[in-house]
Amino acid sequence: NWNMKNFIADQIELIRNQVKDSKVLLALSGGVDSSVVAALLLKAIGKQLVCVHVNHGLMRKGESESVIEVFKNQMDANLVYVNASFRFLGKLAGVSDPEQKRKIIGTEFIRVFEEEARKLEGIDFLAQGTIYPDIVESGTKTAKVVKSHHNVGGLPDDLSFQLVEPLRQLFKDEVRACGVELGLPYDMVYRQPFPGPGLGVRCLGAITKDRLEAVRESDAILREEFANAGLDKKVWQYFTIVPDFKSVGVKNNARSFEYPVILRAVNTVDAMSASVEDINWPTLHKITDRILKEVKGVNRVCYDLTPKPCGTIEWE
């Protein structure tokens, strides 16, 4: 009979038979799928798994830290942490076109990962968090590309690995159940989706350090207040956006000329269409007050009421 315990036991055996005493490489972003793959492989082959976590400088507040805490400190994984923030931000400097930004982040991610892979020796396998809908979607995708999505893949031919994809039969809810069964923290397994290009597509136009910091800090406040209001378990995705224009305001009896923060909170089944969450006014006011008080360089907060379509969920 099929249950999660049996699934895990079966996969552990399959992985051990496939991999034998070789090493397996995994790009561990900290997202649900890669985290669950990491936990499963750790259980199956322990230190033969080499996780590489690339911090592209566009992570949310505390995100890379929690990957290190959970996988390195708590689960004793072989984890290579690469802080490539400067490199990514350098490549992105002055680039304002959204597709261009996505391409740079995707390409650079593969380059950094490739460089790390070349430094490591004796690796024959690459683990990926491919899940069932990924396979189905890539087989039937006829829709016009609105945005280029990024994931690993596109590694050069001389760097070829055999794939280990233990989650390829699972739907998302099963992946989460698997993660819980493997002892991953609830927050990690039930976290909201986060795009590959990270905060880079929420810091609109050419990314600057000050606006990126404003996106990161305001996002942290939004997440905290959503958790306080119990909305984190109810709303599918919620985040903040900082555009590349300023507006006039008044702060401490003086003129201010600073950036706005836009709040977005949506519900969806398949991300193809989405509706806006009716956040209650007291929560909206609380979030607004905190952002205006705590986030540097911000003098206005707006709530995006646009469903998808016409707006996509992300702004870029």
Known binding-site positions for ATP: 29-35
Question: What is the distance between the alpha carbons of residues 212 and 216, in angstroms, rounded to a whole number?
Answer: 6
Helix (H, G, I), strand (E, B) or coil at 87: helix
Binding mask 176-215 for ligand XMP (x = CB under 6 A): -----------------x-xxx------------------
Bridge partners of 302? 262
Nearer to ligand XMP, 45 or 105 (CB): 105
Alpha carbons within 13 angstroms on the beta-carbon side of residue 305 total: 4
**Using rule CB under 6 A, residue 271 touches ligand XMP:** yes
- x/- track of binding to ligand XMP for residues 27-66 (CB under 6 A): ----------------------------------------
CB 44 within 8 A of CB 12: yes
Residue 48 CB, shortest distance to ligand XMP, in Å, is: 27
Residue 230 in contact with ligand XMP, rule: CB under 6 A: no
Burial of 20 (0-12, 13-18, 19+ CB in 10 A): exposed
**Nearer CB in complex with ligand XMP: 249/311:** 311
Considering the rule CB under 6 A, would residue 129 count as an interface residue with ligand XMP? Answer: no
Contact 235, 95 (CB under 8 A): no
- Distance of CA 238 to CAs 6, 193, 194, 292, Å? 35, 9, 10, 18
Residue 149 engages ligand XMP in binding (rule: CB under 6 A): yes
Max CA separation in the chain (angstroms): 70
**Distance between first and last Cα of the chain:** 45
Q: Which is nearer to ligand XMP, 182 or 313 (CB)?
A: 313
Nearest distance from residue 314's CB to ligand XMP, in Å? 3
Could you identify the residue written with the tokens 């905190």?
A: 290
Q: Is 222 in the site for ligand XMP (CB under 6 A)?
A: no
Residues lying near ligand XMP in the complex (CB under 6 A) are found at 146-147, 149-150, 193, 195-197, 237, 271, 308, 312-314
